[in-house]
Structure formats: C-alpha cells, structure tokens
C-alpha cells in the first residue's frame, strides 16, 4: 500500500491535541450545563432546501449522494451535510415543538462540514459548540444579554489568551439605513459587513453602484461603521449623526442593555462595534463576533446572534438567540503554534512496571485494583530493565510508576524521583495528576 496523501481541511490532531480537544469540550459542556442548557445532538444531514433558504450558497454545501445509482434510485438525494448547527436546531424545534418546554435552552457540540477553500482557521470538517435559547412567539431581549456572559465563563475556564466580543444590533443598522433613505437597508448591511475585507473605499463604491447611494449617504454609512466603544457611549455618537428612525432607537436601546450588563458581570469582555453585521440573512437583533488577543487575524472564534424567523412555519414562530464557538478554529491556531498542549499524551496516570513475564498476572491485578478506584493505569508492555520502563512512561508524560514486589508496592513520581511504599487500596495521586490537563505552551 502506498503512503496515503493527507486531505487538507480535515484536521486530525496528534494524541496530545486530541486530549486537549476532549478537555475543551468537557469544560464547555460543564459550563453550559451550569447555566441550565440541555444537551442535544442532531443528524448530520438536512434537506438542501432547508440548508440554502437563509443566505448560504450551494457551492459551500457538501451534497450527499450514492456512489452508484440507477434510474430508480438517482444519485442526488436532495440532502447535504449541515454547515452549522443553527439550521438543524431550528428544524429540530419545529419538529418537536409539542414535546419541548419553552423557553428551550440547548447546547450542541458536533462536527460540521463546509465546502470552502481550506486555510488557517477554515476547515472542511470542523467541530462547533453552540448554545441557543428559543421561545414560542416572542423572545425577551434579556436573553441577548445573558448569552455573552455564558460564553465569557466558558472561555475563561480554559487557558486561552484574553478574548474580546464585538457586538452590534441589526435593528440599529437597518433602522439607520432606513432613516438615511437607502432603497434596500438589508443589502446595505451585507455590503458594510465586508468593510474589513475590502476596505471603506470599496464599500462606498458598492453602496453607490448597488443601491444608488449618494456621497452623503455613503459617508454616513462609513461614519456609523467607524463607531467602536468599550461602553454605552456609542449611543451618543450614533445620535450625533443626526439620523432618526424608530427601529434605530430600538436597536440602540437593546445594544446598550447588552453592553452595560457585560460591564457589570464580565468587565473588559464586550466592545460595541457598529461595523459587525454577520453575513447570514436570518439574524434580526444583537450580533456577536469574538476575537483572541494576539490572533485577531484568525477572525472570529465565537459568533452568532438573534434570529426571529429561522424557526417558523405558517403561524408558528420560535425566535431565538445563539452563539457558536469554533472549537477547531481555536485549536488549529493554538495547537499549531504550540501555545496549547496537554500535560501528557495518554490518559494513563500510573504505569505498573513488569519485573518479569511470570509476574504479568499479578501486575494486571494491581492495575485492575487501581482502575476500580478511578485511576487510569496500564501495565508495561515488556519486562525490560526498569530504566527503560521508566523512560517509556516519561515519553508519554505518565507521572507515576508502580513497582510491585514481595514486600508490597512502591510508587515513584518520575518527575521528582521520590519513591515511597503505598497501599494500592488507599493510595491516591494528587488531583492535578489524576487526568491530563490543558496547559499553555
């Protein structure tokens, strides 16, 4: 068999990276459950009409089809792999609304697939961790305040660089563009959302070419996008632009509430950034983008917003608000730069040294006794010299080696070299050694 060629865009971390990912997921899970979010897993595929109905493009969706098909069973199944967890969640709510208790709070940690050009931070298969709150008919705005506080606790429980969440409100932008007299406020939002990619001048050109905006209107749009404050003072700067509209007033009021709550409960977390819009059409209120200090070029590592119409069918409507953490995006950057690693590459806490082949049954019994008490243990693979068995443990980061003998068991901390006799029925490793931990590199 020839050596396989790696596939770009499908990350497969080495064992230490796998352990880091598992610990990250577990930390997020614990935090989400502390806030009362219930776990949810949905299927990997959705009907194509559902995947494409809210602003996504077909070229980014992986279509599901059989490799072999006949006339009675066409290869095009009409199904595609989900590219995020919000669209499947909206579908799940509609299908199960009669069985759910509202407001419904859920977290979901699953792979997603997106057919785009792989690059740093962008993968074809990636792990996301989402939280959403949905309600029936109406969703109080205070949930838009709560969600960034949940994410702040989740990310601060990890050894990550500092994070800053940039927030805006689609009502604020839509109301401002309506008050300006632009012909299509939603198209204006999409154009201004490109400002970091194409620059202010190109945005102004597009506003003029696509919407027929005057120089004064384009200038006002750019002036709004330039507003960024760490507190609620953005409201005064918006008012100074002289544009009025009822929807604008509502958006400003809602964004002020989000920023002021964060200032009280998570100081330094939020920045009001009025160029943030999010590209997907389904957002209707507060929108969020989050950046890692020192890795701003990576783009947002946690994004989302308020959506009022995504989960709706006929007269039934289930507005929601959600945030999604790009787990693979974060790990790709921090593992790649060795800024994050695990204290060991295996779960094993204790290696039972093997004096000779005849002792394997006794060593297996010792290992089993430790495992029954929740201590991850393995027996050395071969009865080599003890020095080689200790080096076997060192290479994997296993902190303790147990030496069975006629006079009992001794355990050595191979980092300090300290070796003491122990009772395997009562010995317990320090809490920080029981499981691998994530550490900053």
Q: Which residues contact 441 (CB under 8 A, 6 or more apart)?
A: 334, 337, 338, 339, 340, 341
Pick from 37, 124, 117, 130: which is nearest to 87 by CA?
130
128 is in an annotated binding site: yes
85 is in an annotated binding site: yes
Q: What is the CA radius of gyration of the chain?
A: 27
132 is in an annotated binding site: yes
426 is in an annotated binding site: no
76 is in an annotated binding site: no
Q: Are 128 and 112 in contact (CB under 8 A)?
A: yes
65 is in an annotated binding site: no
106 is in an annotated binding site: no
Largest CA distance in the chain: 91
Pick from 106, 107, 105, 50: which is nearest to 83 by CA?
50
Residue with tokens 């950034």: 273
What interhelical angle do 185-192 and 215-225 show, nearest 10? 60
84 is in an annotated binding site: yes
Work out whether strand 377-379 and strand 270-273 pair parallel, antiparallel, or are unpaired: unpaired
283 is in an annotated binding site: yes
Is residue 103 reached through a cis peptide bond, with omega within 30 degrees of 0 on the bond before it?
yes
- Give CA–CA dist 412/418, Å, rounded: 6
CB neighbours of residue 150 within 10 Å: 21
Q: Classify burial at 139, counting beta carbons within 10 Å of its beta carbon; exposed 0-12, middle 13-18, buried 19 or more.
A: buried
CB neighbours of residue 64 within 10 Å: 16
Q: Which residues contact 122 (CB under 8 A, 6 or more apart)?
A: 9, 114, 116, 329
Binding positions are 84-86, 114, 128, 132, 278, 282-283
Binding positions for L-histidine are 84-86, 114, 128, 132, 278, 282-283
């Amino acid at each position: 068999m020839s050596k396989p060629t790696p596939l770009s865009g499908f990350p497969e971390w080495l064992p230490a990276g796998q352990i880091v990912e598992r610990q990250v997921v577990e930390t997020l899970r614990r935090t989400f459950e502390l806030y009362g979010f219930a776990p949810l897993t949905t299927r990997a595929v959705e009907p194509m009409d559902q995947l494409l109905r809210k602003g996504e493009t077909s070229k980014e969706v992986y279509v599901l089809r059989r490799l072999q098909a006949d006339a009675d069973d066409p290869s095009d199944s009409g199904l595609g792999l989900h590219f995020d967890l919000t669209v499947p969640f909206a579908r799940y709510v509609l299908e199960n609304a009669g069985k759910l208790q509202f407001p419904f709070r859920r977290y979901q940690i699953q792979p997603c697939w997106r057919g785009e050009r792989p690059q740093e931070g962008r993968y074809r298969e990636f792990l996301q961790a989402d939280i959403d709150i949905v309600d029936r008919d109406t969703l109080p705005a205070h949930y838009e305040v709560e969600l960034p506080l949940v994410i702040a606790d989740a990310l601060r429980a990890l050894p990550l660089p500092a994070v800053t969440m940039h927030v805006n409100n689609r009502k604020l932008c839509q109301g401002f563009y309506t008050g300006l007299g632009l012909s299509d406020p939603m198209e204006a939002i999409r154009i201004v959302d490109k400002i970091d990619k194409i620059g202010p001048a190109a945005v102004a050109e597009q506003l003029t070419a696509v919407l027929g905006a005057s120089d004064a209107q384009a200038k006002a749009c750019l002036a709004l996008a330039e507003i960024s404050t760490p507190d609620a003072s953005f409201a005064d700067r918006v008012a100074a632009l002289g544009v009025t509209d009822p929807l604008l007033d509502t958006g400003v009021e809602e964004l002020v509430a989000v920023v002021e709550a964060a200032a009280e409960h998570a100081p330094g977390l939020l920045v009001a950034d009025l160029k943030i819009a999010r590209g997907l059409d389904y957002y209707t209120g507060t929108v969020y983008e989050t950046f890692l200090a020192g890795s701003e070029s990576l783009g947002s590592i946690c994004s989302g917003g308020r959506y009022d119409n995504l989960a709706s069918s006929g007269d039934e409507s289930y507005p929601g608000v959600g945030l999604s953490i790009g787990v693979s995006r974060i790990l790709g950057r921090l593992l790649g730069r060795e800024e994050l690693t695990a204290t060991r590459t295996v779960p094993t806490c204790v290696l039972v040294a093997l004096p000779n082949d005849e002792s394997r049954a006794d060593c297996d019994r010792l290992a089993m006794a430790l495992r029954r008490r929740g201590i991850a243990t393995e027996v050395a693979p071969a009865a080599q010299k003890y020095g080689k068995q200790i080096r076997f443990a060192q290479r994997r980061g296993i902190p303790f080696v147990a030496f069975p003998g006629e006079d009992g068991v001794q355990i050595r901390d191979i980092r300090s070299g300290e070796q003491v006799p122990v009772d395997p029925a009562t010995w317990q490793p320090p809490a920080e050694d029981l499981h691998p931990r994530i550490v900053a590199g």
